[in-house]
């Protein structure tokens, strides 16, 4: 009975909270102490190109591997062409397969 009024009041508040938290996190990621930590060697998670990871048996199409010493790294078998920066694009089947199986 009170579902619709609760939803009508909650949905705009959820949107406002989401925008506020996202903006705060984006501002904090640009803070000088964060940049310093990254320059000092704080590990960042790898951004694999999943197009290149297609049919890769080494990483099972994940694009990343966990090394024996516990580091999370790009798959050396299929991600050698990846630059490491996130660049969204549309997968090209021929490019991905050609890179995974040269
Ligand atoms: Zn791989």
In angstroms, the CA 6 to CA 89 distance is 40
Bridge partners of 74, per DSSP, are: 64
Give the integer Cα–Cα distance in Å for 57 and 101: 10
pLDDT string in tens for the chain (102-residue length): 899 999 999 999 999 999 999 999 999 988 999 889 888 888 777 888 888 898 899 999 999 999 999 888 999 999 886 554 545 455 665 554 444 444
The residues near 28 (Cβ < 8 Å, ≥ 6 apart) are 34
Q: What distance in angstroms lies between residue 60's CA and the mean position of ligand 1's atoms?
A: 6
Distance 16 CA to ligand 1 centre (A): 40
Can you list the alpha helix ranges (DSSP code H) found in the chain? Answer: 3-29, 32-39, 93-100
**Ligand 1 (single-atom ion) residues, CB below 5 Å:** 53, 56, 58-59, 75, 77-78
Residue 80's pLDDT is what?
81
Give the per-residue pLDDT at 37.
Answer: 86
Handedness of CA 64, 66, 67, 71 (dihedral sign): positive
22 CA distance to ligand 1 middle (Å): 32
pTM of the predicted model over 0.85: no
């Amino acid at each position: 009975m009170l579902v619709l009024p609760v939803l009508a009041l909650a949905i705009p508040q959820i949107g406002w909270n989401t925008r506020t938290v996202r903006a705060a996190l984006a501002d904090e990621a640009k803070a000088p102490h964060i940049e310093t930590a990254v320059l000092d060697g704080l590990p960042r998670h790898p951004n694999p190109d999943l197009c290149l990871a297609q049919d890769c048996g080494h990483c099972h199409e994940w694009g990343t591997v966990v090394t024996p010493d516990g580091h999370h790294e790009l798959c050396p078998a299929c991600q050698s062409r990846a630059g490491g920066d996130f660049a969204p694009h549309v997968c090209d089947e021929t490019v991905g397969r050609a890179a995974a199986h040269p």
